[in-house]
Amino acid sequence: MTTDLHQSTEEMLAESLWKVRLKLAWRSFRKGWASFVENRIGLLGLGIIALYGLMALAHPILLDTVWDPRVYDPIIGYDAPATIKTIVPDGQVTDPETQVSLLEARLINPILKVGETLEIREQPASPSRKHLLGTDPLGRDVLSQLMFSTRAAFLLGVVASLVTVFIATTVGSVSAFFGGLIDTFFMRLADLILLVPFLPLLIVLSALFQFGLLHLALMIGILGGFGGTAIILKSQALSISVKPFIDAARIAGGGKMHLIFRHIIPNVLPLSFLYMMFSVTDAISIEATLSFLGLLNIDMSWGIMIYQASVQGYLLSGTKYWWLLMPAGLSVTLLAGSFFLVGRAMDEIINPRLRKR
């Protein structure tokens, strides 16, 4: 970080420390933002994240105002458009919109006779003005589920990535600073975690214990934090801890904790932040996959939406019931992908080697 010298030293010293720090942070943020904007793919990712963020925010407001919770509640809402049809003898159906054959009617209620009327409820219902993305096999609004699940996805991603980055930054910095036995222990632990396949491990764990969303987020965070991310952040911390300003701080009388938390970690943080983006991607896809396999104890999420469709037998229905599979599947892909894109764009800012010539 370079400071412009348009202020005199006295003026700078007169300002309180936190103000200077804030200014520096703001300046480096603006610089980073300027180069981030140049990367159109990164901006696209950020736009998609913002869109989903808005959806997550809008959902409770919509439920409070426009949407009747009895119909639009993502978990217990119910609505099935009903049509009244007249029963006609088999083979004499002339207008399928208003008539139904006796055979089909008796599948629903065996004591019905010709001439009587039957109320047929359609679920899953195709998209209509009332339900923009149709309803699921249980008569619940798909759009509402989609928006509700966005919140869960964000929550999971943020918790998992915060835990990952917190652990990885601390472990990386500490093992880079102290070296020796601590370093060996944490690095071997990271190797061990990297070797064990992630998804099968989570499958086993969810078989043994009941997993909720928060447990899963913590689990992903802990495994990621002690695993690969720790190795990467350690190498970054190592390259910082040999720089002259660390020696200067030590000579000035800084204690070990002061050196680690005030000098090493702030310099590792940009890279930590980058890996936060990638761990959000991982967390979202892992949650969706585990939910799809029916292993999690969660009410509603994108993975659960597809799981429901698959349990009810709509998994291979193709385009006929597209609204059961496409919105949820695409959402997982888009949100996970856009965090990845933002991460890539940030990578180009933080790693000068990747910048354009």
Binding site for other proteins (CB under 8 A): 40-41, 191-192, 194-201, 203-209, 228, 281, 285, 288-289, 292-295, 302, 306, 315-316, 318, 325, 328-329, 332-333, 336-337, 340-341, 344, 353-354
Shortest distance (Å) from residue 88 CB to other proteins: 33
Which residue, 38 or 247, has its beta carbon nearer to other proteins? Answer: 38
Shortest distance (Å) from residue 332 CB to other proteins: 4
Q: Does an H or E element contain 339, and which? A: helix 322-350
Which residue, 85 or 234, has its beta carbon nearer to other proteins? Answer: 234
The phi and psi torsions of 78 (rounded to 5 degrees) equal -150, 135
Which residue, 103 or 192, has its beta carbon nearer to other proteins? Answer: 192
Which residue, 77 or 157, has its beta carbon nearer to other proteins? Answer: 157
Shortest distance (Å) from residue 20 CB to other proteins: 37
Shortest distance (Å) from residue 110 CB to other proteins: 34
Instruction: Decide if 49 contacts 342 (C-beta within 8 A).
Output: yes
Which residue, 80 or 315, has its beta carbon nearer to other proteins? Answer: 315
Which residue, 246 or 328, has its beta carbon nearer to other proteins? Answer: 328
CA distance 49 to 331: 11
Nearest to 216 by CA among 239, 234, 233, 198: 198
The phi and psi torsions of 260 (rounded to 5 degrees) equal -65, -50
The phi and psi torsions of 8 (rounded to 5 degrees) equal -80, 160
Shortest distance (Å) from residue 32 CB to other proteins: 20
Which residue, 259 or 288, has its beta carbon nearer to other proteins? Answer: 288
Nearest to 328 by CA among 299, 310, 306: 306
Shortest distance (Å) from residue 231 CB to other proteins: 11
At 127, list the tokens: 């998209």
Shortest distance (Å) from residue 308 CB to other proteins: 13
Query: What SS3 string covers 263-274?
Result: HHHHHHHHHHHH
Instruction: Decide if 140 contacts 75 (C-beta within 8 A).
Output: yes
Which residue, 90 or 191, has its beta carbon nearer to other proteins? Answer: 191
Shortest distance (Å) from residue 100 CB to other proteins: 28
Q: Please state, as a whole number, how many other Cβ atoms lie within 10 Å of the Cβ of residue 238.
A: 18
Q: Find tokens 């919105």 and name the residue.
A: 327
Instruction: Decide if 175 contacts 236 (C-beta within 8 A).
Output: no
CA distance 78 to 264: 55
Instruction: Decide if 274 contacts 346 (C-beta within 8 A).
Output: yes
Q: How far apart are the first and last CA of the chain?
A: 21
